[in-house]
Amino acid sequence: MERGRGMDTGTLATVLAVMRESSVRAAAALLGRPPSSVADAFERFESELALKLASRRDGGLSLTLAGENLARSIPALTEVLARIAKIAGEEPAEASRVLAWTAKNTIPVAVLGNFNAVIRAGSIRRAARELGVGQPNLSRQMAELERALRQKLLIREMHGCEPTPEGLEFSEAALALTTKVASLTGPARKRFARELRTVKLGTIIPVGHESRLAARLAALVAAW
């Protein structure tokens, strides 16, 4: 699976809650979820980033350098999530309530990106072609997104569509969030791509640098 594709706003909110509270159990209480579920979400997020964000210590969490870097983004990310909650008619006054609402009303990050693709293309059909997905599937995603937010985001017309005021506001929030997530997962994707391109050659037979096999291996590596 391509990294970042399986991420969603609920997982992101859960991770932010864990880092904000410096405790899986405290975050679970804040979100109203079982600690095991919160711990699993945190581990999935670390897997997406291919980075260790924290280690358990004295009943709490000790952030790694990567975790401290992410922690600096908590206010900005929470503010974007609050904007999405507001579009849905929710106006939680506290950051903890923003994270709790988001964790219960999760949206795949890929769908956020697809929504902006529709806005740019001005048509679900054209966006589906650009994204390489089926038009019915993309139409269903947009309809489910509107139901999740309890808002009409797109005005559908015969030859295309355009955003409502709420849709335009959501597009801006979605762009901010997907851009940040891409900056977090980008390094992991690059490392993953390098791993896929790496080929290791070896033999159980001792090979001298002047042997015919060594020469052929060298030629193969050069051609690669």
Residues 6+ apart with CB under 8 A from 181: 4, 7, 12, 109
Tell me the fold of 9-104. Arc Repressor Mutant, subunit A (1.10.10)
Domain boundaries defined on the chain: 9-104, 109-184
The b/e string for 57-90 (b: 16+ C-beta within 10 A; e otherwise) is eeeebebeebbeebbeebeebbebbbbbbbbbeb
CA distance 80 to 36: 27
The pLDDT score that the predictor gives to residue 114 is 97
Same fold for the domain at 9-104 and the one at 109-184? Answer: yes
The pLDDT score that the predictor gives to residue 168 is 97
The pLDDT score that the predictor gives to residue 158 is 85
CA distance 45 to 102: 16
CA distance 28 to 23: 9
The pLDDT score that the predictor gives to residue 149 is 96
The pLDDT score that the predictor gives to residue 197 is 52
The pLDDT score that the predictor gives to residue 3 is 44
The pLDDT score that the predictor gives to residue 211 is 66
The pLDDT score that the predictor gives to residue 57 is 77
Q: Among the CATH numbers 3.40.50.150, 2.70.98.60, 2.40.50.140, 1.10.10.10, which is that of 109-184?
A: 1.10.10.10
In tens digits, what is the pLDDT along the chain, a chain of 224 residues? 344 456 899 999 999 999 999 999 999 999 999 999 999 999 999 998 888 999 887 768 888 998 998 999 999 999 999 999 999 999 887 999 999 999 999 999 999 999 999 999 999 999 999 999 999 999 999 999 999 999 999 999 988 999 999 999 999 999 999 999 988 876 544 544 444 455 555 555 565 656 676 666 667 666 65
Q: Model-level pTM? A: 0.78
The pLDDT score that the predictor gives to residue 195 is 45
Nearest CA to 109 among 85, 82, 145? 145
